[in-house]
Structure 1
């Protein structure tokens, strides 16, 4: 089961990386390519949502005692999906601003300079946003590893506790056996002396 989930995870990671790359490119493309890229990103966002639904179904089939780790992962993937959709909306707004400026025929030199400056600022903001997202994904992955490590450590402590109890019971039995052997030895020694 977890191999299916991990396969979906890999597909989701590849798809979201492609989407992030395309979202960053949308504001910088010529108008005809932008329209095509926007449609392409919308389609890929739908595919990503479908992958999340498949992953969610897989998590529901996991036994409750093992489900926690996968549920945490799902939460982070859903957050990532929300961020992608927000970034896409921002990218489309930048796209629509440029289209509006083209339709209004803002050909003035100062307007053009402002538009170039705004494009550069938006591109810079998108680059920074992308870096932040990568960093937050790394942090989330680190957090997931920490949670999983903690769960494994807790299981190991429980196993060690059970093992200690078994060893203590075995010691008690050995002591009892040793005491019984000592009594038997004294009884036999006493009988042999008679």
Structure 2
């Protein structure tokens, strides 16, 4: 199980290193080259997400006593993935000085303020997007906790139901035992009464016989 995780882990490391390198090159490319590179990085980011999902599934199959180390590593990889996505978004709106001058041409100085304003607006939108993504992740984590809590609650209810059945069976056996004891007690009481009766009767007969010699 852990060998599969480590295999995905190595693939993830290689892929993220390649993505990091490409993200650093994006601002320096011409518009056409940048478009192609952006599409390529988007595809690789999706592949990296799929690897994370596979790794996450593998971690869930690992016994709980050995899962802690892998859970910590997964948390680190998810943070790395989030940073890559943020860097990629920033690189898409960034331009090197050379590319910016090429795009603006002779009107570079007069249009630079507009470009700066546009970049600020995009950065603002990017920050809003990141906040929404963080909120979404928190909601997802909360939902996962709720699901796990519901599963635990269901298991507890099932255990309580089983315990209730055991208690009910024990009570039934106790009632049966009480009934048997009552029956045995009545039988024993009857036997004792008959024994006393026989003793009293035989005692009277002995007394009558003892009086016979005196009569004669």
- TM-score after normalising by structure 1: 0.59
CA shift in 2, pair 1:63/1:108, >3 Å = closer
Query: In 2, distance between residues paired with 1:69 and 1:146?
Result: 24
**Residue 143 of structure 1, CA deviation:** 0.6
CA shift in 2, pair 1:155/1:31, >3 Å = same
Stretch of structure 1 that moved more, 97-106 or 71-80: 71-80
CA shift in 2, pair 1:132/1:148, >3 Å = same
Q: Which runs of 5+ in 1 are unaligned?
A: none
| Match of residue 90 from structure 2 | 90
Q: Which runs of 5+ in 2 are unaligned?
A: 193-216
Stretch of structure 1 that moved more, 77-86 or 169-178: 77-86
Verify the 8 A CA contact 1:73 1:144 in the aligned structure 2: no
CA shift in 2, pair 1:47/1:106, >3 Å = farther
CA deviation map 1:5-39 (0-9, x unaligned): 79999999999999999989987999999999989
CA deviation map 1:59-86 (0-9, x unaligned): 7968999999999999999999899879
Query: In 2, distance between residues paired with 1:22 and 1:190?
Result: 101
What is the SS of the residue equivalent to 2:94? helix
**Residue 103 of structure 1, CA deviation:** 3.6
What's the Cα RMSD here? 7.5
CA shift in 2, pair 1:111/1:3, >3 Å = same
Say how many residue pairs are matched. 192
Query: In 1, distance between residues paired with 2:50 and 2:67?
Result: 20
| Match of residue 130 from structure 1 | 130
| Match of residue 150 from structure 2 | 150
Query: In 2, distance between residues paired with 1:156 and 1:7?
Result: 37
Query: In 1, distance between residues paired with 2:10 and 2:35?
Result: 28
CA shift in 2, pair 1:10/1:162, >3 Å = farther
**Residue 130 of structure 1, CA deviation:** 1.0
- TM-score after normalising by structure 2: 0.54
CA shift in 2, pair 1:67/1:175, >3 Å = farther
Stretch of structure 1 that moved more, 60-69 or 140-149: 60-69
Query: In 2, distance between residues paired with 1:69 and 1:168?
Result: 44
CA shift in 2, pair 1:70/1:18, >3 Å = same
